[in-house]
Amino acid sequence: MKIAVVGATGLVGGEILNVLSERNVQTDELLPVASGSSVGKKVSFSGKEYSVISMSDAISKKPDIAIFSAGGSTSLEYAPYFAEVGTYVIDNSSAWRMNDEIPLIVPEINASILTKKDKIIANPNCSTIQLVMALSPLHNKYKIKRLVISTYQAVSGSGVKAVNQLMNERSGIDSEMAYQHKIDLNILPHAGDFDETGYTSEEVKLVNETNKILNANIKTTATVVRVPVVTGHSEAINIEFENDYVTEEVIRLLGNMPGVVIFDYPEAGLYPMPTMAAGKDEVFVGRIRRDLSQPNSLNLWVVSDNLRKGAATNAVQIAQYLIKSGIAGENI
C-alpha cells in the first residue's frame, strides 16, 4: 500500500502523518509531497525520516491513495493527474466538495456510497464534519426541518500564520497578520470572504455541505465566528424537527453514534470545551435541551478538534475504508 500525503509540511499535513501512524494504517511506502520550495525537507513518520518529493515524482510513483491538504488551487490542478494514474485522491480543500460527481464523505455517515469509480473524494469542511456527526442520527429519526448554527472557530483553522498571530499578540510581539484585526482578547464575526448576500464563504460551506450530506431540503442559516482559541471548534446548534422528540431518546441516539461522546453534566459545570477536545478524534456533545420557544426544537453544543476529526482524522478514516473495503490497492 503506497500512500502519498500532499502538503505534508503544513499544519494539517503533519496531523495526517500523525493520524496515519497512530491508527497503524497499512503504509508500505510513504510519499510526503509538497511545493517545490519544500522538496528535500525532512518529515517524520512512525519514527523514521522521509524526504519530501515533488508533485511530478509522486504522480510517477502511482500511489494507491493520495491525501491532499495543499489548498484548493493545487487540488484542482493536480488531483486529476493522480486520478488518471489510478490513485484515489482524498481532498481536504473546498475545491471538489460541491461537484455533483464527487462524493462528500464522513465515514460514519455515508462511506458506503463509495465505489471503485470514485477516484476523487472530498473531505467536508471542519465545522461541517462535527455538525453532521451530531445531526445524522437525529435526522434519521425525526427529520430535520431547519438549522440555526453559530460557530466559534479556532485560529488553527486559518493555518500556522493565524496561530502565530494569536500567540505573538498574547506575548506582545509585533508580527505578520493573518486577520485584518487583532484576535487575542477579541472575536471576529468573519471567516472566509463575504459575498453579495452578506454571508461569508465559511457560512455558505456549512449550509451547502450539510444539505449535500444529509438532505437538500434542510433549511439552514449560519454565523461563523473566529475566537482566540488555538485548537477546537465549538458550535451552538438550534434544530427544528418535522416530528417531536423525547429528550431521553435524543441522548440515546447520540450516545449510540460512533465517534460521538455525550458530555453533559451542566449542574456540575461539565460540558464540552475546546481544551478537552484538543488532540482527540471524538465529537463531544453537551447542553442537550429542548428549545422552549417553539415546538419540535432542540439545542445542542458541539465541540471537536478541527485538525483531527475536522480534517486529518476524517481523511485517514476515508483511506482506511478504501483499504478495508478493497476499493484501493489496485496499484500495488
29-46 tens-digit pLDDT = 999 999 888 898 999 999
Residues 66 and 135 in one domain: no
pLDDT at 331: 47
Q: Which of 126, 139, 181, 190 is catalytic?
A: 126
298, 288 in Cβ contact below 8 A? yes
Q: Is residue 263 part of a domain?
A: yes
Q: Is residue 330 part of a domain?
A: no
DSSP string, 162-222: HHHHHHHHHTT-----SSSS--TT--BS--S-B-TTS-BHHHHHHHHHHHHHT-TT-EEEE
Q: Is residue 205 part of a domain?
A: yes
Residues 115 and 242 in one domain: no
Residues 281 and 167 in one domain: yes
Residues 196 and 263 in one domain: yes
Which CATH number does the domain housing residue 45 bear? 3.40.50.720
Residues 266 and 287 in one domain: yes
pLDDT at 332: 41
pLDDT in tens, 156-199: 999 999 999 999 999 999 999 999 999 999 999 999 999 999 99
DSSP string, 237-255: EEEEESS---HHHHHHHHH
Residues 86 and 147 in one domain: no
pLDDT at 38: 87
38, 66 in Cβ contact below 8 A? no
Residues 267 and 300 in one domain: yes
Does the pLDDT at position 136 exceed 80?
Answer: yes
pLDDT in tens, 61-93: 999 999 999 989 999 999 999 999 999 999 999
Sign of CA dihedral 45, 51, 56, 59: negative
**Model-level pTM greater than 0.85?**
yes
pLDDT at 35: 84
Does the pLDDT at position 273 exceed 90?
Answer: yes
pLDDT in tens, 230-269: 999 999 999 999 999 999 999 999 999 999 999 999 999 9
190 catalytic? Reply is no
pLDDT in tens, 203-225: 999 999 999 999 999 999 999 99
139 catalytic? Reply is no
Host domain of residue 293: 127-306
Q: Which of 139, 181, 190, 233 is catalytic?
A: 233
CA atoms within 13 A on the CB side of 103: 21
Q: Is residue 52 part of a domain?
A: yes
pLDDT at 329: 80
Q: Is residue 180 part of a domain?
A: yes
pLDDT at 330: 55
Per the structure, the count of domains in the chain is: 2
Lowest mean pLDDT: which of 64-68, 117-121, 306-310, 328-332?
A: 328-332
Residues 119 and 131 in one domain: no
Residues 209 and 317 in one domain: no
267's CB contacts (< 8 A; 6+ apart) are none
Q: Is residue 275 part of a domain?
A: yes
Residues 166 and 90 in one domain: no
Q: Is residue 329 part of a domain?
A: no
Residues 97 and 219 in one domain: no
Question: Would you give the DSSP letter of residue 89?
Answer: E
pLDDT at 14: 93
Does the pLDDT at position 307 exceed 50?
Answer: yes
Task: Please state, in angstroms and as integers, the Cα–Cα distance from residue 181 to each residue in 169, 188, 332, following that order.
Answer: 11, 8, 50
Q: Is residue 247 part of a domain?
A: yes
Local structure of 67: helix, strand or coil: strand
d(CA 234, CA 226): 10
C-alpha cell at 206: 456549512
Question: Would you give the DSSP letter of residue 266?
Answer: G
56's CB contacts (< 8 A; 6+ apart) are none
Sign of CA dihedral 194, 199, 202, 205: negative
d(CA 315, CA 332): 21
pLDDT at 1: 94
C-alpha cell at 274: 475546546
